[in-house]
Structure formats: C-alpha cells, structure tokens
Chain A
Amino acid sequence: EVHLVESGGHLVQPGGSLRLSCAASGFTFSSYWMYWVRQAPGKGLVWVSHINSDGSRATYADSVKGRFTISRDNAKNTLHLQMNSLRDEDTALYYCARRDCSGGSCYVDHWGQGTLVTVSS
C-alpha cells in the first residue's frame, strides 16, 4: 500500500525558512515524479512544485519560484521542500503527492495527509 507521510510543518516568522519532508513507502519511489500541493485554510488546492523521477528536473509555481526548492533522495525514499523567505500567504497545509500519467495526461493518484505551515509574527 502506498504511504506518503509529511513532516516539518511549523510556525515560522515572515522571512524565515522551513524544510518539509515526505517519507514514501509501498512503491518504487525512484520511478515516480512527485508533487507538492498546498491548501490555504478554507481555500482550494494549489500546485506548488514537482520533480522528475531522478531529481534532475524541477518546476515551480510562479508564486514560489526563487524561494522554494524541491529535491528528493531516492536512496532514502524521501521528498523535500526547502522553503525560504516565507510570506504570510504561504500559510497552508502542504501535501506530498505521487504523480501518475495515462495517455499523456498526468494526475495525482496518491496524497499524503499534509503538514501545516503557519507563517506569522
């Protein structure tokens, strides 16, 4: 069974940094692209970033580009999100998610339970 367990969420001051982690199990982690998706309190889902299976390519939403860095350690089956220069609007539940594709269209087939990041002074 696929399991994705996020950790690292915390209360942090504006301008601060945080590193989120996601421990993956139950599947061949190194074969899948992975996403981070966030959800602000009471709001909808927003794609943040994704990384390809070997970690050589990453893509970011404009709202986090230059501040966030996604990475992965395939030997440890772990996904990370380094978050710098945090802003109030980064406050959200951050989900780790596994990507699957069919016929050229890609979607999230498994989600973690999320880790809460609160940016506030």
Chain B
Amino acid sequence: QSVLTQPPSVSGAPGQRVTISCTGNSSNIGAGYGVHWYQQLPGTAPKLLIFVNTNRPSGVPDRFSGSKSGTSASLAISGLQAEDEADYYCQSYDSSLSAYVFGIGTKVTVL
C-alpha cells in the first residue's frame, strides 16, 4: 500500500486523451513537494516523463503533460498512441515518513 494512490489501470483508443491521477495527503503532495512521473515500458527501466509537476525533459513529446492541485496531481496523455502502452508511476517526498514515495503504478492500455 502506497501513500500515493493511483488507479491500477486506464485505457483509451488511439488518438484519445487519458488522465492518470495521483492522490496524496498533507505530508507529501499537499505539503508542497513536487510530483514527478515515470514511464516504464514493458521489460525496460523507468524513464523520467515529467518533473516538478509540469516540466518535460528534452525528448519527451508534448502529448504528455502534468498538473498539480492541492493534494493531487495528474498526468495527461493526449493523442494516445500504441507506443504509450506502459506502466506510469508518480513520485514525491513524504515528510512524515522521511522517504521518497512512489505510487503503485497505473497500466495504460491502448485499445
């Protein structure tokens, strides 16, 4: 059980927009700590997708966007493509645990 809650799965047809939520509390996201998102393609290491709530590293398509409000954050994928099928993890810092925490991960399926 993680302190950051994500839906286990989301799906969408090619071209559609999907969003993944990441819900925390006042010790992590709500305390002002940044939220970061990672994409893990099957059988590969994770890759940084979004850092500090809304920022994309160079090379990440602008189809991926992040937002944060209160104790929650979201990752949106617009114009869904087959290559976006992967697991997506949010991550932040939790001051009550004094630990970096990940969400349980969300599997995105392209129908």
Contact = CB atoms under 8 A, between A and B. Distances in A.
Nearest to B87: A44
B99 A44 contact: no
Nearest to B97: A62
A108 interface: yes
A47 B52 contact: no
Interface residues of B, number: 29
Contacts, number: 68
Interface stretch (A23-31, A83-91, A109-117): A109-117
Contacts of B40: 45
B34 A46 contact: no
A50 B99 CA distance: 10
B52 A108 contact: no
A114 B48 contact: no
A59 interface: yes
Interface string B39-64: 01000111110011001010000000
Given A44-B102, A106-B93, A107-B36, 17 more contacts: A44-B87, A44-B103, A50-B100, A59-B99, A62-B97, A103-B52, A105-B33, A105-B34, A105-B36, A105-B52, A105-B93, A106-B100, A108-B36, A108-B46, A111-B46, A113-B44, A113-B45
24 contacts: A44-B2, A44-B87, A44-B89, A45-B40, A45-B46, A47-B99, A47-B102, A59-B98, A62-B97, A62-B99, A95-B45, A95-B46, A103-B52, A105-B33, A105-B51, A106-B34, A106-B93, A109-B48, A109-B51, A109-B57, A110-B48, A111-B45, A111-B46, A112-B45
Counting from the closest, the 8 A-B pairs by CB-CB distance are: A105-B34, A107-B36, A47-B100, A111-B45, A44-B105, A45-B102, A105-B52, A107-B51
